Amino acid sequence: MDLSRFPRRRYTEGATPLVPLPRFSAALAASCPAGRAPEVWIKRDDLLGLSPGGNKTRKLEFLMAEALARGADTIITCGAPQSNHCRLTLAAAITEGLKCRFVIEERVPGSFSETASGNHFLFRLYGVEDITVVPAGTDMAAAMQAVADQVRAAGGTPYVIPGGGSNALGGLGYVACAQELQVQMTDQGTRFDAVVVGSGSSGTHGGMVAGFLGNRIQVPLLGVGVSRDPVDQAPLVQREAQAILDLLGVDLQVGEADVSCVGGYWQPKYSIPNAGMVEAVQMLARTEAVLLDPVYTGKIMAGLIGLARAGHWADGERVLFLHTGGMPALFAYTGELLG
């Protein structure tokens, strides 16, 4: 699949590392029945460019290129109070000399605080121009459009990026990731029995599905839900992957069988800590000095751990975990993680 016809900004030098996690794998095996567990590897998309890294960087390379081509001077996007996407969008805007505004959805009542640490601290340190806070269930597209209208009324030129950067254009970033992974597997002589990704706004998972299908990567791809169970999540991913393939002009249809999701690891609610997340964050930090986050990657890794303990993979199978970043949010959850 040819991505070269799409304008693209480059925020990362080279490919993100693809490395084994031997001490984590040993600790996981020790906690599994009969000590049987997969060999876990990691792709470090937490080390992507734009401080301090994360999966949205790949999407923003395409989205910001379009914003600049349209002459935008103000970027508008949305997310939750500790949104990694908002933080990285703001970093990209600063890098390009643009202003940035957020619409923040308070999905958990009372969760927004002007003095919060984590990503919200970085919002303020980076100098976000304005934050509009709205209650859970708000029509976020309409709310962002209202902010865009304000910018236009003041003589500015806004560009609106959807939550998570999850549209067909942003999804090209994870088609690029699939192509990058394919090259790394060839160069390193490494093959995987499964790839585990997070599945939320669906841009990353959908982009990987499109990339695997379009590049004929014959490795099972499994999405661990961070806000929905499969009955609700899988159709979103399927639609996103299809929209990406259509944008690329690839004559493929994404079927239900092409999208694999698991649920049960995100409850009781999006962004609310649970015991599995705490164990996963502590386990990877204490075996490999790799930091996960409480909202996304901690729950995704909890899913990988839970599946391994349930015998989902055979002993010695090689499983790749796609680390999508989010480390700054740790500092908003110190009590839960160390309590």
* Burial class for 181, CB neighbours closer than 10 Å (0-12, 13-18, 19+): buried
Residues with Cβ < 8 Å from 206, sequence gap 6 or more? 166, 171, 174, 236, 237, 238, 239, 240, 241, 243, 244
The residue written with tokens 């901690």 in the block is 298
Instruction: Please say whether the beta carbons of 92 and 117 come within 8 A.
Output: no
**Residue 83 appears among annotated catalytic residues:** yes
Q: What single-letter DSSP state applies at residue 54? A: B
Tokens of 156: 């500015």
Dist CA 90 CA 98 (whole Å): 9
The residue to which tokens 């909202």 are assigned: 295
**What is the identity of the amino acid at 13?**
E
From the list 83, 166, 201, 202, the catalytic residue is 83
Please, which residues bridge with residue 325 across strands?
54
For residue 41, give every residue at least 6 positions away whose Cβ sits within 8 Å of its Cβ, in sequence order, or none: 18, 19, 20, 21, 190, 192, 318, 319, 320, 321
Q: For 190-229, b where at least 16 C-beta lie within 10 A, e where not — what string?
A: eebebbbbbbbbbbbbbbbbbbbbbeebebebbbbbbbbe
Token representation of residue 229: 């169970």
Determine contact, residues 118/331, Cβ cutoff 8 Å. Answer: yes
CA distance 245 to 236: 14
Residues annotated as catalytic (active site), given as ranges: 83
